[in-house]
């Protein structure tokens, strides 16, 4: 297919595709799916080989958020039966992080619900970062605390943070349909603050919230313009008690096309499969490793993920290898541009991990219409951080 050859060649040269080409990837048929995966997979292997970076989430403070993000189980007005607890102490957070690191994770993502941190919150998280760094040599730490005020990114950097996450989530044109308590511009501003402080920026999206193909392409091109080092791709998790809980329209094939489009537009960045892979990719998760070079190990913020042991087996069975702490994630040209070992920038919401609801991703051909809702695959997290039970790692 001429389109795929063109996109593959552009990806190998780090050349941006056109919007029309990106839209065409989303419009390909299921008959062409393996060709799409093969073309995007070559771009992935060119820049990242067969390495898979493992990331581990620690939810430092769960629930009771004043923001109204429609996809989130921790939102204002949520009736989801999630864990609710206040700040973990540094030693508690470090213990939780150690489980993921023992399972092979290279990066720990420290997340806290809320609009954004107070200066006292930054002090708390800084103490936690220092504790984790002191107890685990070579670990990368990413913070995800919401909207940042002036000077806070610099303080996190001084405490040892390597990265900051704040996702754009959806296109600017549809953002107000998802959240009303803050703006798209607020999120962009936080990504800029992380960049300016010398943190590696991590910023991604959530697919499946009622957006069109054009919206998906818009947000991915906006992300490319922000130049994050990592782009988490979330697939909406329909959690009961959230406004989007009844939306179940993603298919495994659709998810693979979205990941391929992201890889073509952002060929040399860390593309991370974040929340929802188990729910929407299901048995096709191994194919997604040919497109993304990074995943979360174990559970998410408020929902359970695939067993950590199963994650590691999947990576090995698919012919990939876990990236070691002695390996640099990003290609040399991105590291030398100012990012250090883990990259150069990171950006918006949930350390890349969304927990919310599913929706229609543009016009889905009849042949790829979603099956019955797999509510059996959505389980509220009852173990790990904030509990007395062992974590899933």
Residue 348 pLDDT > 60, yes or no? no
361 catalytic? Reply is no
Task: Quote the pLDDT of residue 376.
Answer: 84
pLDDT tens track for 29-52: 999 999 999 999 999 999 999 999
Selected catalytic residue, list 65, 144, 266, 361: 65
Residue 141 pLDDT > 50, yes or no? yes
Return the beta strands (E) in 96-237 as ranges.
107-112, 140-144, 163-165, 200-202, 205-207, 230-235
69 catalytic? Reply is yes
Selected catalytic residue, list 75, 107, 124, 142: 142
- What percentage of the chain has pLDDT greater than the value 90? 72
Residue 304 C-beta-side C-alpha neighbours within 13 Å:
16
351 catalytic? Reply is no
Q: Are 306 and 297 in contact (CB under 8 A)?
A: no
Task: Quote the pLDDT of residue 353.
Answer: 53
Q: Which residue has the higher pLDDT, 74 or 43?
A: 43
Task: Quote the pLDDT of residue 282.
Answer: 96
Selected catalytic residue, list 75, 109, 124, 277: 109
Q: Are 272 and 294 in contact (CB under 8 A)?
A: yes
342 catalytic? Reply is no
- C-alpha span between 288 and 46 (Å, rounded): 16
Task: Quote the pLDDT of residue 64.
Answer: 82
Selected catalytic residue, list 202, 266, 351, 361: 202
Contacts of 141 (CB under 8 A, 6+ apart): 107, 108, 110, 129, 132, 133, 160, 161, 162, 163
Residue 99 pLDDT > 60, yes or no? yes
- C-alpha span between 220 and 231 (Å, rounded): 9
Sign of the alpha-carbon torsion through 142, 69, 236, 306: positive
Task: Quote the pLDDT of residue 352.
Answer: 52
Task: Quote the pLDDT of residue 247.
Answer: 84
144 catalytic? Reply is no
Q: Hey, which residues does 164 pair with through a beta bridge? A: 143, 201
CATH superfamily of the domain spanning 2-54+65-79+166-377: Aldolase class I (3.20.20.70)
Q: What is the pTM of this model?
A: 0.91
Residue 355 pLDDT > 70, yes or no? no
């Amino acid at each position: 297919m001429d389109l795929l050859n063109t996109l593959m060649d552009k990806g190998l040269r780090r050349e941006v595709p056109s919007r029309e080409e990106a839209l065409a990837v989303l419009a390909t048929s299921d008959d062409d799916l393996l060709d799409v995966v093969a073309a995007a997979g070559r771009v992935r292997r060119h820049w990242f080989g067969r390495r898979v970076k493992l990331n581990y989430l620690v939810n430092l403070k769960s629930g009771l958020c004043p923001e109204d993000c429609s996809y989130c189980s921790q939102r204002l007005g949520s009736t989801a039966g999630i864990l609710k607890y206040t700040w973990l102490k540094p030693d508690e957070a470090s213990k939780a992080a150690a489980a993921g690191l023992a399972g092979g994770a290279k990066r720990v993502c420290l997340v806290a619900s809320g609009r954004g941190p107070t200066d006292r919150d930054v002090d708390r998280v800084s103490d936690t970062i220092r504790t984790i760094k002191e107890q685990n040599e070579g670990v990368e730490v990413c913070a995800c605390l919401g909207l940042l005020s002036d000077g806070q990114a610099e303080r996190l950097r001084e405490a040892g943070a390597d990265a900051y996450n704040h996702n754009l989530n959806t296109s600017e044109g549809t953002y107000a349909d998802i959240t009303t308590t803050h703006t798209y511009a607020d999120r962009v501003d936080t990504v800029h603050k992380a960049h300016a402080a010398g943190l590696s920026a991590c910023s991604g999206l959530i697919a499946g919230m009622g957006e069109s193909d054009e919206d998906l392409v818009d947000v991915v091109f906006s992300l490319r313009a922000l130049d994050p080092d990592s782009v988490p791709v979330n697939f909406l998790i329909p959690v009961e008690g959230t406004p989007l809980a009844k939306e179940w329209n993603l298919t495994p094939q659709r998810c693979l096309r979205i990941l391929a489009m992201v890889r073509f537009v952002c060929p040399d960045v860390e593309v991370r499969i974040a929340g929802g892979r188990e729910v929407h990719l299901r048995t096709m998760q191994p194919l997604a490793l040919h497109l993304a070079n990074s995943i979360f190990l174990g559970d998410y913020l408020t929902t359970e993920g695939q067993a950590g042991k199963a994650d590691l087996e999947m990576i090995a069975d698919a012919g990939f290898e876990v990236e070691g702490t002695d390996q640099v994630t990003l290609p040399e040209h991105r590291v030398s541009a100012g990012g250090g070992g883990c990259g150069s920038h990171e950006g918006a919401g949930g350390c890349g991990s969304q927990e919310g609801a599913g929706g229609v991703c543009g016009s889905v051909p009849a042949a790829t219409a979603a099956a019955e809702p797999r509510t059996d695959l959505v389980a509220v997290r009852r173990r790990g951080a904030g509990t007395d039970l062992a974590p899933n790692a």
